[in-house]
Structure 1
Amino acid sequence: MSETTDRLYTIRKDELPTGWGVAAISDLVGKAGVFVDGDWVESKDQDPNGDVRLIQLADIGDGEYKNKSARFLSYKKALDLGCTFLDKGDVLIARMPDPLVRACIFPGDQKKAVTAVDVAIVRPANDEFNNRWLMHFVNAPAFRAAVSSMQSGSTRKRISRRNLARIVLPVPPRKKQDQIVDEVEKQFSRLDEAATGLKRAKTNLKRYKAAVLKAAVESKLTEQWRKEHPDVEPASKLLERILTERRKKWEATELAKIKAKGREPKREEWKASYKEPEGPDTGNLPAIPSSWTWTTLPQLGELNRGKSKHRPRNDPKLYGGPLSFHSDWRYPTSEWCY
């Protein structure tokens, strides 16, 4: 909610808890603090063997320092460019996506460090505010909603530091800031633990699934059941019925085709064209229970691939009908789909 033409408020003043105030980032740091952009360091200014680290946008995570980049320049060049050197504990705010405006705490580096121009540096003169509290508020929805109303750029959104300085945030007492940070980070730790547990459970479930399938195909899964049901019909008998039924269906289909041409077969020679599906070569296959049998997919049913003669295959005319269309990209690798 904007209360003046210069500043954008993230909360109404009459909604503030007792003892709280409002301030923009520039108010918090004061004249003795630091609230500046990083430095314009071009490729020609960089040196892979330099003794000063150049922090990039990619290093700034949403509440975490990612430490991804490996850009450097010499200490002399940094002085020549008038760079602002970072201190451990500085709040770094990325003014470009993704997401637009995200903050983290600089943990320090083995080398001296400066940062790119699209990263704002926030450093209080003393202990006026808790840096981690400011980081969390910058990453909060209320602050980002204010940012979205002032973003600029057609292809890649950004916000200027001048506009960042217009955003007014609610400021709790210093002790309350510490309490807020402790509670937020406690809850974040719980979320991280839950996410780790969920990931572990997913991995264990995948292993269990693989173990069950392995036991099933190796006949171990039904070993006890077979002992309790010794008189069960062997799978070889089932396979015989499947093959017999398969042939009957083929003959019925072929006979219908012949009659559709106005002919009536007088002899049975046409049945000789039926091709029995090829069975497996069991010479090198492992032993299986006596009630089981080896077979091949063609013996159990038709095995074909999808096909389409229509080009292009993404023609809009092919879509929107009553039949569902299935493509291999819909199915994860090495997973059965039914």
Structure 2
Amino acid sequence: MSLTVPVAEIINSSTNPLLAIDPSWERVPLGKIAKVLNGFAFKSELFNDKKGTPLIRIRDIGNNKTECYYDGVFDEAYVIHPGDLLVGMDGDFNCSTWRGPKALLNQRVCKIEVNIEQYNRKFLEYVLPGYLKAINENTSSQTVKHLSSRSISEILLPNPPLTEQQRIVARVEALLSHVNAARERLSRVPLIMKKFRQAVLAAACSGGLTEGWRKENPDIEEANKLVKRLESIRKQFKIREISSIDNLELSDLPDSWTWIRLANIAIVMDPDHKMPKSSDGGIIFISPKDFKENYQIDMTKTKRISDEEFLRLSKKFVPRPLDILYSRIGADLGKARKAPQDIKFHISYSLAVIRQLGEMENSDYLFWLLNSMFIRNQAFENVRSIGVPDLGLRDIDNFIIPLPPLAEQYEIVRRVGLLFERADAIDREVEAATRRCERLTQAVLGKAFRGELTRNL
């Protein structure tokens, strides 16, 4: 839905400190000091990921890059240059200066062209986000929120003298220089921690993580004996035939380890492909979109299905608490999450269930291995679809697995858990520091817009 409350009423009734102004200043409608250019509805059939001109969509605001290109003719009026101020007109109403390459302005994104003889462009960059947030908070919607160019033009901005705007910008940038530098350093930490976690998993599945442990425990049972015991369990199921690995060139493993296919230690199943209907307050229905980056599942926004749909899906199989849910279709392909405990649920056909056999059932080693780049690279290599990525069950069966002895699996899982706990603690510290930077930024901007930073200059 669109805005139903007048913009002026939102501003006048707001208690947001970013919307307050010095009593000596007047306000001016944005449309008086700038032009609002709406994006164009370019034909989606001409979109692609490499050929043509970069195309800016709502998702690209703030990213300074786009992975979408438009391979067709266009009007030069919709060309965006580095430094242009953009606003997203759906969703969160984000605002950002474009710092990517020359690109096209797609629909539901607008460009704000400031008359620099009337208003300081940088001052507008600092001021506008607070007003857009206030409008967003007052826009009711059951689906996606929408913002019109008319509403943007009606935003009543603080209008101090142009020379004072320039002084405010200089003062804000001086005060925030250290904050922005800290924020920039903090923004690099998540990628560092992501690489750290993958390095831990790489060491885990190569034997490097437990090299010292093996020397201290030389008499543990070798992994190939475990595989032989599981073979008798496999024969109880109608499982697809396992491809041989005898002719493959594989790297050396510790002596007590062995190379196998995933199907040697687990069965892989997918649910009925008929999409169930949604049902308010029904049974949880998990899909890849519910997978969080911290290897958890977000249960707060899952789709719900009726008891009847659950029973229909359950005719094929019912997911169990010790199952591994594996994304095999779509952009999130190749991610593993543990099945929820103590709740009733079913899964989308975009997921497969990997159910470990026998003694493997209580080991989390395979779960972590599936999330490593060693397995994810195998998944990406076997994607069959040109459009939506699609990984078949046999492809998952055929994943090549470095299997340690069961006792070593438990030790690997323990060490991975400890190292990931440390990484999680660092993530929490970074999040807290980022929030402090944001609070400090908001405090500085609030003072700036009330004229307090330049009052005595």
TM-score by length of structure 1 reads: 0.54
TM-fit CA distance, 1:126 = 3.0
Question: Which residues of structure 1 form unaligned runs of 5+?
Answer: 222-287, 294-338
Rounded to whole Å, the distance in 2 between the matches of 1:199 and 1:39 is 40
Residue aligning to 1:151:
383
Cα deviation 1:278-317 (Å, max 9, x = unaligned): xxxxxxxxxx7xxx46xxxxxxxxxxxxxxxxxxxxxxxx
The answer to whether residue 415 in structure 2 is matched with residue 183 in structure 1 is yes
Residue aligning to 1:25:
262
Rounded to whole Å, the distance in 2 between the matches of 1:20 and 1:147 is 22
Q: Would you say the 8 A contact 1:24–1:168 is kept in 2?
A: yes
Residue aligning to 1:36:
269
For these two proteins, the number of residue pairs brought into alignment is 211
User: In the TM superposition, what are the counterparts of 1:307-318 in structure 2 within 5 Å?
Assistant: none
The answer to whether residue 345 in structure 2 is matched with residue 108 in structure 1 is no
3-state secondary structure, aligned to 2:346: strand
Cα deviation 1:103-142 (Å, max 9, x = unaligned): 000123533x221222111222432254421111111111
Rounded to whole Å, the distance in 2 between the matches of 1:198 and 1:80 is 42
Decide which of 400, 405, 423 is 1:173's aligned counterpart.
405
AA at the equivalent of 1:22: W
The 1:50/1:78 distance shift into structure 2, 3 A limit, reads farther
Determine which structure has the larger strand proportion and give its number. 2
Residue aligning to 1:306:
none
The answer to whether residue 364 in structure 2 is matched with residue 132 in structure 1 is yes
AA at the equivalent of 1:119: L
Rounded to whole Å, the distance in 2 between the matches of 1:130 and 1:80 is 26
Q: Would you say the 8 A contact 1:93–1:103 is kept in 2?
A: yes
Q: Would you say the 8 A contact 2:334–2:371 is kept in 1?
A: yes
Structure with larger Rg: 1
Residue aligning to 2:319:
86
The answer to whether residue 248 in structure 2 is matched with residue 15 in structure 1 is no
Decide which of 129, 141, 148 is 2:373's aligned counterpart.
141
Cα deviation 1:226-272 (Å, max 9, x = unaligned): xxxxxxxxxxxxxxxxxxxxxxxxxxxxxxxxxxxxxxxxxxxxxxx
3-state secondary structure, aligned to 2:360: coil
AA at the equivalent of 1:93: Y
The 1:208/1:114 distance shift into structure 2, 3 A limit, reads closer
Structure 1 segments (4+ residues) deviating >6 Å:
none
The 1:212/1:70 distance shift into structure 2, 3 A limit, reads closer
The 1:178/1:207 distance shift into structure 2, 3 A limit, reads same
Rounded to whole Å, the distance in 1 between the matches of 2:408 and 2:310 is 42
Rounded to whole Å, the distance in 1 between the matches of 2:342 and 2:403 is 30
AA at the equivalent of 2:286: I
TM-score by length of structure 2 reads: 0.41
User: In the TM superposition, what are the counterparts of 1:1-338 in structure 2 within 5 Å?
Assistant: 6=243, 13=250, 15-29=252-266, 34-43=267-276, 46=277, 48=279, 52-61=283-292, 63-67=295-299, 68-75=301-308, 78-79=311-312, 82-108=315-341, 110-111=343-344, 113-128=345-360, 130-208=362-440, 214=447, 218=452, 292=456
Rounded to whole Å, the distance in 1 between the matches of 2:430 and 2:296 is 21
Rounded to whole Å, the distance in 2 between the matches of 1:196 and 1:109 is 28
Q: Would you say the 8 A contact 2:369–2:375 is kept in 1?
A: yes
3-state secondary structure, aligned to 2:364: helix
The 1:147/1:211 distance shift into structure 2, 3 A limit, reads closer
Question: Which residues of structure 2 form unaligned runs of 5+?
Answer: 1-241
TM-fit CA distance, 1:86 = 1.1
Question: Identity of aligned pairs, percent?
Answer: 20
More RCO (CA 8 Å, sep 6+): 2
3-state secondary structure, aligned to 1:128: helix
Rounded to whole Å, the distance in 2 between the matches of 1:65 and 1:80 is 20
